[in-house]
Chain A
Amino acid sequence: MIEVEVFPHRYLKATTTEKFLNEIYSLETVERVIIHGQPLPKTVYYGPARGTPVNHSERKVINVHGVPVELTVMAGRFWITLKDDSEIEKIEEICKSLFPFGYDIKVGKFTRDKATVTDYIKYGERVVNMMDRSLIGLIDPRSKFESAVKIIPKEKDEKTSSKE
């Protein structure tokens, strides 16, 4: 299992993110994608306009292989977990076609794969020992599972997660 970081040189619009995720999930070796970016608030949280709805045009529900995914961030980085390195060139091709402004691709290890003390405190020892290994390190401990993780069914279970 290897991980690839895709780092576009611009923050992506929701439509580009949608296209990118759809193409990435069409690849066979992709197991999960973590979306990393700038959070887009629903309401103004500070200042004289506090509480006013923001209505950010990039915070919307996108469709990834038939599954509605609510984008809560403006995507700026993707961590893609792959089964093996056979399809890295294909990822590069996708990036080339979607990111004309430039991008970086790095192969390495970007997320944790072992349970931490926080996990044990939050979920309890039994749950951590039982849980799906691919869920470890997917989201940060403060976010809620339902809002941060989407499972996109295909031949195999795949997940996409939004996090700050």
Chain B
Amino acid sequence: MAYTPQFYPGKTRIAQNRRNHMNPDVQLEKLREIPDDDVVKIMGHRQPGEDYKTVHPPLEEMDLPEDYVRDLVEPINGAKEGHRIRYIQFTDSMYNAPAQPYDRARTYMWRFRGVDTGTLSGRQVIEMRESNLEDIAKNFCIDTAFYDPAVCGIRGATVHGHSLRLDENGLMFDALQRYVYDEKTGHVLYVKDQVGKPLDEPVDVGEPLPPEKLAEITTIYRKDNIPMREDTELITVVKRIHRVRTLGGYIPTDEIFKEL
């Protein structure tokens, strides 16, 4: 059945931002240009310039049994080469971060192939073949309006901080202080990689976005920005799902859907 995906219900700006994230045809605004090597350093899985480690020989050289699914699905480049699977994990502050875990998961699923994401309340991990992951991390997750240096953190472990007040410089709290605010330049510098190992040189990820801009591009409903209650269309959908799940369960009958 052919249909046009609607991505997300809702009439407010927040809902529109969520749709923009999820819609693969929408190009998110490019806000910064972080060099490839710097992203590799922050992720900390390999040294910049080092070859990718592999877990199996290239698929073409492998003698695999006949399988028609293999003919249907084109493998991503990293899988073709046999690269390892690595991860990058983000934490998004509740103070108008551009993305949040559920939005991230849906966005990754809509936009990319060969990705495994894990969603938790305060963090969101992506697992993927290393080379493809680096490409996505740089070109989508960090360089675009999907990321803000102050209210998004690249944190592999010890992620605590998404639900806390920001610090005096407007940065999200981080017990390991992986990034610091440079008061001279106004930029955010990563001084540690995502798990907290110190970097040789700090990595500059640019200036934090102004609060007005964040309020405009965020995908988080907030009482001091746009509250969820204002979005009547979304509320209708949420109520419908709630009703169908609680009353219908595993045996949805016609009666439950009658008034919906």
What residues make up the interface of A, taking CB atoms closer than 8 Å to B? 8-13, 16, 38-41, 44-49, 52, 54-58, 74, 76, 101
Contacts and interface: CB of A to CB of B under 8 A. Distances in A.
A52 B191 CA distance: 13
A132 B164 CA distance: 34
Contacts of A57: 177, 180
Identify which of B170, B175, B180, B195 gathers the most chain A CB atoms within 10 Å of its CB: B175
Interface of B: 156-158, 160, 164-168, 170, 173, 175-177, 180, 192, 195-198
Identify which of B165, B195, B198 gathers the most chain A CB atoms within 10 Å of its CB: B165
B44 to A, nearest CB: 8
A10 B165 contact: yes
B17 to A, nearest CB: 25
B168 A10 contact: yes
A46 B176 CA distance: 11
Contacts of A13: 167-168
Contact of B165 (A9, A40, A46, A55): A9
A74 B158 contact: no
A101 B167 CA distance: 10
Identify which of B164, B168, B180 gathers the most chain A CB atoms within 10 Å of its CB: B168
Given A41-B175, A52-B196, A74 B157 contact: no
A47 B157 contact: yes
B158 A47 contact: yes
Contacts of B170: 10
- Chief secondary structure at chain B's binding surface: loop
B195 A16 contact: no
Contacts of A10: 165-168, 170
B156 A47 contact: yes
B158 A45 contact: yes
B157 A11 contact: no
A54 B167 contact: no
A44 B160 CA distance: 13
A38 B175 contact: yes
A54 B165 contact: no
Contacts of A16: 168
A38 B165 CA distance: 10
B196 A38 contact: no
Nearest to B166: A10
B196 A101 contact: no
B178 to A, nearest CB: 10
Nearest to B161: A38
17 contacts: A8-B165, A9-B165, A10-B165, A11-B173, A40-B175, A41-B176, A47-B157, A47-B158, A47-B195, A47-B196, A48-B156, A48-B197, A49-B197, A54-B176, A56-B175, A56-B176, A76-B165
A87 B164 CA distance: 30
A11 B167 contact: yes
Given A38-B160, A38-B164, 17 more contacts: A10-B166, A11-B173, A40-B175, A44-B176, A44-B195, A44-B196, A45-B158, A46-B158, A47-B157, A47-B195, A49-B157, A49-B192, A49-B195, A52-B197, A56-B176, A58-B177, A101-B168
A38 B176 contact: no
Contact of A38 (B157, B173, B197): B173
Given A38-B173, A44-B158, A54-B176, A74 B167 contact: yes
A16 B158 CA distance: 26
A103 B125 CA distance: 34
Contacts of A11: 164-168, 173
A91 B90 CA distance: 39
B234 to A, nearest CB: 29
Contacts of B158: 44-47
A74 B165 CA distance: 11
B168 A52 contact: no
A5 to B, nearest CB: 15
